[in-house]
Amino acid sequence: MSTGPTTPWLTQEAHDRLSAELEEAKGPRRADIVAKIEAAREEGDLKENGGYHAAKDEQGKLEARIRQLTQILRDAKVGAAPTAAGIAGPGMVVAVRYDDGDTERFLIGSREDRADVPVYSAQSPLGLALTGAKAGDRVSYSLPNGASTTVELLSAEPYTG
């Protein structure tokens, strides 16, 4: 299975969980917040109404999560992890060695995946740099502070969950 560098990869379990969360958010959770807002409005002066402002804040956060979930589910490549080892990319657990000698093992996937290893987004600078690399390759990527660093890919194995 191949995905583009901007296509999130999700296990079927993660896709199902996110779909259920989206349905809950669009239905019962949204209705509960609307009811809270209406009840707070009935209390009168909205400037001094803490319940109203708290409910509006909760509504804003819920709507942002609904947009996020909708985009993830719309764009995601869903399915089993790749079965061939050796090439880094979405669905692969990779081991890397940093310039300082430290090593790290993580899944290149969606942060929405609940994995038994840390998850780095395939869209992150490190995820993008590693995608397509083979064991032994050294790749460079930009750090948030603008500096560049290099890592060596030690291994890439399919995620088995």
pLDDT value of residue 161? 65
The pLDDT mean for the chain works out to 85
- Do 74 and 96 belong together in one domain? no
Distance in angstroms (rounded) separating the CA atoms of residues 13 and 159: 13
pLDDT value of residue 84? 66
Residue 97 structural domain: 92-158
- DSSP H or E run through 158: strand 148-158
Residue 4 clears pLDDT 50, i.e. is over it: no
How many structural domains does the chain have?
2
pTM of the predicted protein model: 0.59
Domain boundary pick from 56, 78, 100: 78
The two tokens of residue 51 are 């319940």
pLDDT digits (tens, 9 = 90+) for 126-146: 999 998 899 999 999 998 899
CATH number, domain with residue 119: 3.10.50.30
Residue 114 clears pLDDT 60, i.e. is over it: yes
Distance in angstroms (rounded) separating the CA atoms of residues 25 and 66: 7
Distance in angstroms (rounded) separating the CA atoms of residues 49 and 6: 43
